[in-house]
Structure 1
Amino acid sequence: MRVCSLLGALVALVSLSSSTILQNGQVRETHFQETTVASISLNSTGWRTYGPNATEISYKGRWDSKHISWWAAPGIKFGFTGQDVAITFGQYTSQGVLVAYRVGGLDWQFTNVTAGSTHHFISPSTLGLGATLSNQLPLTFELRVTNWAYGIQIRAVHVNSNSRLIKLPNYSKTIEFIGDSLTSGMYATYEAFSGFGYSIGAGFGNVEFSITAYPGICLHDANCWGNPRGQTYQWFQTSDTSWRASEIYGTEPEKWEFSKHPAADIVVINLGTNDNNTANNVTSSQYLSSYLSFVEKVHTTYPNAQIVLMSLWNGFYSFGNSYAQSGAFINEIYQVYNHYKDQGFVHYFNSTGILQHNDIGPQWHPTDFGHIKIASHVMQYIRIKFGWEFGATGPEVQHETLYWNDESGY
């Protein structure tokens, strides 16, 4: 992915717009909920408070020891027996970060949260359920950060004083995505929440997933578009390469303790578009050597995982009276596959032909529809190749992608 300017992302961290989404250059109407309430203390009447380390809270994606979220579309999930859920966010929560939340498999709702605030997400009137809510207890609550650079810190979770949280069991299968801005959904409508990494993981509906992807990052361990390290180093850290990570941890990030989390059964890697950009001075031999080494390290970390190497589409260019796909490091990625294929744990996914030139937006990244196309093809590949069956038979995955035409003649 060509990142216009990491400086732009850093500026956005300071002056985050909390209400505007541009759709084809025009403002899209949004319906973000106002959920802010007065602070809830341990002694607040009518509430039971759980700390961020409560075993009933399942953290999805990467979170550090301070319960700060990192990388793309991290979240939390738990069951609850009452009719109210509120969350207090800690000091390391990004200013105005947009989060998605929902009950069960109902449609996602959105709200902006910030450091030190408390938000009352679920009440008896939430989503218009009213009295029917009590007939469905216990319920499931899920929250996701929609972005790839901003994050939240969980300080406390609150429920009714006469109710409790419930630990939900993890799904038996786990998939991890390792990538850059393409996987993390940069420039998609809801960013990471609209990217193909999230769409694949959530699209299966019956798997755990983690998206270790960040815009501008290279595979090779080099400074690319302001990212000080490449994925050959950063993947082993809890935090990403964002400005806020450097503010909190400097040059000493927390190591990710793989042994304390479920091992991935499938790892999908889409890396190299940044390495391929001449601005980052990564040679093809450096890329190939780093990729070979990285696959071996991923295999050592997850010895039972199947590793899928995605080819890179790298945009389109005018060709005669049509368009042609560029591709990047085509031979190098296939060399990595050939090097490991006889060992049986490395596979090659050829993305050529899935996207057309109009599936790429003006900022060189897939449109929402482009992300959905990629996700759909990869999901079918995984289903056929590894026998994973689809389990999302109703819950919303992509938000606000329902378009239709009521005009039959024109």
Structure 2
Amino acid sequence: MRLIPYACRVASLATLASSTILQNGQVRLTHFLETAIAPIDSNSTDWHTYGPNATELSYKGRWDSKHISWWAAPGLKFGFTGSQVAITFGQYTSPGVLIAFRVSGLDWQFTNVTANSTHHLVSPSTPGLGATLPSQLPLTFELRVTNWAYGVQISNIHVSSNSTLIKLPNHSKTIEFIGDSLTSGMYATYEALSGFGYAIGAGFGDVEFSITAYPGICLHDANCWGNPRGQTYQWFQTSDTSYRASQIYDTAPEKWDFAAHPAADIVLINLGTNDNNTANNVTSDEYLTSYLSFVQQVHAVYPKANIVIMSLWNGFYQTGNTYKQAGAFTDEIYQVYQQFKDEGWLHYFNSTGILQHNDVAPQYHPTDVGHVKIASHVMQYMRIKFGWEFAATGPEVQHETLYWNDEQNY
């Protein structure tokens, strides 16, 4: 994906059809697969086709009644027998959206998909499977949309004619992330798939997670950086605040049915960076009042959840011959915590000191390293605070993050 300023995003949505990753101003070599194939006829004897509402499919994150994905890193997961998987994407799939997919615990593979196309994603030649794979060996397939502004629509799932899909049970614990561009991984290498929200959820290994985060959005219900509503409204909707959503929903968006999905055990909120920008005209009093109301609403939805509110680092500034963390709404966020801490369900995570100034990129967002640092500290906090032990068993969390030299002759 090309990392381009947020203000340019909306105008680029219709034309972006290639994926370029810039690192330190240079183009990174990528190896995105060419997976598009001819349409698969529903009566084909070579394939066994399932519709998007098949009970064997597990949708991760927020998807609407038309099986359109929204917000950051939405996913799809299922088990299957055989060695073939293809997916047909519907008309509401964004042009050229980059998806990540993998089989079981193997590394992520990447490909660009578009509307009304079919993509052959798993075959006997898929790395790690091998041509001699037993046809009835159950495997796991997982898909994630890497971007936060784009999405896919699932039309059909195809497996080999003599194969079947398998329903995978959900993990027993669930995390809900509520945030803005920081949580959604804006400007990170694989955006949502490289953000700290995804890194925390996937890093635990045995939890379900949903990242309800979108760049530019405020906590307070105001128009911020082109987002018509704030999270105090939008979190209760299925879709996000994107231009894509405004084109698909010409009237009111679908309400999110919380009761139809597993309740969160932990909710992590990182909101206020956009409210703090003078361009959006949110006052300190408005922010505080909205935050006090919002945490109570989240608590009403998830009465058994532990809700964690994060302090905001808000970049760095030079002072003398060093740098200091700026912070934002420091007193207001802590006041929210103070208001409810005695009730036992609201907790405060102080992010001060985790990032250094070089962990924030020129676009004011964490680098990949910055996201890893935030995720690592938050995971340790959850481990100590709530007793959640780490359970990841080896599958990669962040893709292509090789930060050390692996050449012995230099």
TM-score (norm 2): 0.97
Q: Which residue number corresponds to residue 257 of structure 1?
A: 257
Contact 2:82-2:136 within 8 A present in 1 as well: no
| One-letter amino acid matched to 2:323 | Y
Q: Which residue number corresponds to residue 129 of structure 2?
A: 129
What per-residue deviation string (whole Å, max 9, x for no partner) do you get for residues 330-385 of structure 1?
Answer: 00000000000000000000000000000000100000000000000000000110
More displaced, 130-139 or 333-342?
130-139
Q: Which residue number corresponds to residue 242 of structure 2?
A: 242
Matched, 1:189 2:189: yes
What secondary structure does 2:131 align onto?
helix
Q: Which residue number corresponds to residue 37 of structure 1?
A: 37
Q: How does 1:2-401 map to 2 (within 5 A)?
A: 6-134=6-134, 137-401=137-401
Q: Residues of 1 paired with 2:308 and 2:165: CA distance?
A: 37
What secondary structure does 1:382 align onto?
helix
Contact 1:5-1:225 within 8 A present in 2 as well: no
Aligned length: 408
Q: Measure how far apart 1:391 and its partner are.
A: 1.2
What per-residue deviation string (whole Å, max 9, x for no partner) do you get for residues 160-191 of structure 1?
Answer: 11110000000000000000000000000000
Q: Measure how far apart 1:403 and its partner are.
A: 2.8
Q: Measure how far apart 1:12 and its partner are.
A: 2.3
Contact 1:4-1:363 within 8 A present in 2 as well: no
What per-residue deviation string (whole Å, max 9, x for no partner) do you get for residues 302-329 of structure 1?
Answer: 0000000000000000011010000000
What per-residue deviation string (whole Å, max 9, x for no partner) do you get for residues 226-265 of structure 1?
Answer: 0000000000000000000000113400000000000000
Q: Measure how far apart 1:8 and its partner are.
A: 0.8
| One-letter amino acid matched to 1:308 | V
Q: Residues of 1 paired with 2:244 and 2:96: CA distance?
A: 14
The two structures, once aligned, show a CA RMSD in angstroms of 1.5
Of all paired residues, the percent bearing the same amino acid is 79
Q: Residues of 1 paired with 2:187 and 2:20: CA distance?
A: 13
Q: Residues of 1 paired with 2:365 and 2:31: CA distance?
A: 25
What secondary structure does 1:371 align onto?
helix
What per-residue deviation string (whole Å, max 9, x for no partner) do you get for residues 69-89 of structure 1?
Answer: 000000100000111000000
Residues 407 and 89 of structure 1, relative CA distance in 2, 3 Å threshold: closer
Contact 1:6-1:226 within 8 A present in 2 as well: no
Residues 58 and 320 of structure 1, relative CA distance in 2, 3 Å threshold: same
What secondary structure does 1:34 align onto?
coil
What per-residue deviation string (whole Å, max 9, x for no partner) do you get for residues 283-316 of structure 1?
Answer: 0000000000000000000000000000000000
Contact 1:47-1:160 within 8 A present in 2 as well: yes
Contact 1:72-1:213 within 8 A present in 2 as well: yes
Q: Residues of 1 paired with 2:357 and 2:176: CA distance?
A: 28
